[in-house]
Amino acid sequence: MKELAGFLRATSKSRQRVLVLCHHNADPDAVASTIVLADIFNQLGVEAQPGAADGIAISSQTVLKKFKREIPVNPQLNADLVVLVDTSSLDHLGDFGARLKETSLKLAVLDHHKPVKEMEQLSSFYFVREDFTSESELIFRVVAELGVKLTPEQASLLLAGVMSDTGYFNFAKPETFEVVNGLLKAGADYQQVKEALKPPEDISKRVAMLKVAGRSELRRVHGHLTVFSKLGSFEGDAAAMFLRIGADVAFVGSEEKGRVRMSGRARPDVLKNTGLHLGELMEILGKQFGGSGGGHAGAASMKGKGKLEEVKKQLYKILEQKLKSKK
Ligand SMILES: [Mn+2]
């Protein structure tokens, strides 16, 4: 953290204009950490703007509304330094990533996803800590290191980020609760955050979940219950639902006009026993199908070109190898 705090201090002294940027379809963890980091830069005396590439998720919109904050989507690229937050690679910035690449602006990466080699080479500063369950925790730690005080609203935003990325503390570590304690002490409002994160009773989502359940295929791979299903939206939510109702590993994909997309989720105990890492698996599949993929060990996604049936075939080939127990 000292190293990161040092970087933030040095950047503040250098009088650069900073753009803090997060990935497309930005989740609450992404928008919270982006907004709070931009605030901190401003507090340290540097001109900083927050921004999200290609749009933000509905859940983030609700959280931002609750705490009266906004984040510009596809902001202007008039900065000296772009700090990528909660974003492991330019591929996760949608079309905005290609625009950013063309500018050859100076880049810094502050992330908690699986490191991407190419990004490390592209960045002037690279700080990736996969052991953090959310980017918001990372931001909280560096803010503490800097000795800056969070406002109650900033603390609430970060708490929303932590809760969203840990799946309401399902993937939390002991350190997560230390951060949560700090956020509550800084004035975070747990009830309000919980309220803001509560998904609206969306009829289309309920129908989607029922459909995806009906289409699901169950296979046992080395004793593990694996589920595969198809859905054109809410893929991540659907995969998470399959874990809640009993799957060890679940994948939900879609295919439209030759483009495929797939999300996966796996139970922590399965990851531990087998060494499976869905971020790695999705990276392999993304590359195999001319696209990209990545994420966390227990939650990841890919997109590419081709047939979903073919993706499924390759997926099970990998699972056959990876789901062997280490013991
Ligand atoms: Mn995150």
Distance of CA 258 to the CA centre of its chain: 25
Residue 109 and residue 81: Cα distance in Å, rounded?
11
Residue 154 and residue 64: Cα distance in Å, rounded?
11
Confidence at residue 180, expressed as pLDDT on a 0 to 100 scale: 98
What's the number of CA atoms in the CB half-sphere (13 Å) around residue 34? Answer: 32
Confidence at residue 30, expressed as pLDDT on a 0 to 100 scale: 98
Q: Which residues pair with 217 in a beta bridge?
A: 228
What distance in angstroms lies between residue 85's CA and the mean position of ligand 1's atoms?
9
Confidence at residue 136, expressed as pLDDT on a 0 to 100 scale: 98
For residues 227-255, average pLDDT? 96
For residues 48-58, average pLDDT? 94
Q: How far is CA 89 from CA 11, 114, 230, 260, 282, in A?
A: 21, 10, 27, 20, 14
For the record, the structure tokens of 85 come out as 């937050």
- Kindly report the three-state secondary structure assignment for every residue of the chain: CHHHHHHHHHHHHCCCCEEEEECCCECHHHHHHHHHHHHHHHHCCCCEEEEECCCECHHHHHHHHHCCCCCCECCCCCCCEEEEECCCCHHHHCHHHHHHHHHCCEEEEEECCCCCHHHHHHCCEEEECCCCCCHHHHHHHHHHHHCCCCCHHHHHHHHHHHHHHCCCCCCCCHHHHHHHHHHHHCCCCHHHHHHHHCCCCCHHHHHHHHHHHHCCEEEEECCEEEEEEECCCCHHHHHHHHHHCCCCEEEEEEEECCEEEEEEEECHHHHHHHCCCHHHHHHHHHHHCCCEEEECCCEEEEEEECCHHHHHHHHHHHHHHHCCCCC
Confidence at residue 327, expressed as pLDDT on a 0 to 100 scale: 58
- State pLDDT tens for residues 77-98: 989 999 999 999 999 998 899 9
**Domains detected in the chain:** 2-197 (3.90.1640.10), 203-322 (3.10.310.40)
Residue 12 and residue 224: Cα distance in Å, rounded?
50
Judged against a pLDDT cut of 70, whether residue 23 lies above it is answered with yes
Residue 322 and residue 211: Cα distance in Å, rounded?
29
Residue 266 and residue 308: Cα distance in Å, rounded?
20
Confidence at residue 199, expressed as pLDDT on a 0 to 100 scale: 72
Q: What are the phi and psi torsion angles at 300 (to 5°)?
A: -155, 170
For residues 191-198, average pLDDT? 94
What distance in angstroms lies between residue 273's CA and the mean position of ligand 1's atoms?
24
**Rounded CA Rg of the chain:** 20
Confidence at residue 221, expressed as pLDDT on a 0 to 100 scale: 97
Query: How would you classify the pairing of strands 125-128 and 217-221?
Result: unpaired
For residues 31-53, average pLDDT? 96
pLDDT band at 112 (very low <50, low <70, confident <90, very high): very high
What distance in angstroms lies between residue 165's CA and the mean position of ligand 1's atoms?
6
Residue 34 and residue 31: Cα distance in Å, rounded?
5
Residue 314 and residue 71: Cα distance in Å, rounded?
39
What distance in angstroms lies between residue 161's CA and the mean position of ligand 1's atoms?
7
Confidence at residue 207, expressed as pLDDT on a 0 to 100 scale: 94
Judged against a pLDDT cut of 90, whether residue 324 lies above it is answered with no
- State pLDDT tens for residues 271-280: 999 999 999 9
Confidence at residue 219, expressed as pLDDT on a 0 to 100 scale: 98
Q: Do residues 24 and 93 touch, judged by C-beta distance below 8 A?
A: yes
Residue 202 and residue 189: Cα distance in Å, rounded?
25
Share of the chain above pLDDT 70, in %: 99
- State pLDDT tens for residues 308-323: 999 999 999 999 999 9
What distance in angstroms lies between residue 137's CA and the mean position of ligand 1's atoms?
9
Confidence at residue 104, expressed as pLDDT on a 0 to 100 scale: 83
What distance in angstroms lies between residue 182's CA and the mean position of ligand 1's atoms?
19
What distance in angstroms lies between residue 79's CA and the mean position of ligand 1's atoms?
24
Q: What are the phi and psi torsion angles at 224 (to 5°)?
A: -95, 140
pTM above 0.75, yes or no: no
> Over the chain, what is the mean pLDDT?
95
Share of the chain above pLDDT 90, in %: 91
Residue 104 or 93, more confident: 93
Residue 150 or 200, more confident: 150
Residue 30 and residue 45: Cα distance in Å, rounded?
23
What distance in angstroms lies between residue 207's CA and the mean position of ligand 1's atoms?
27
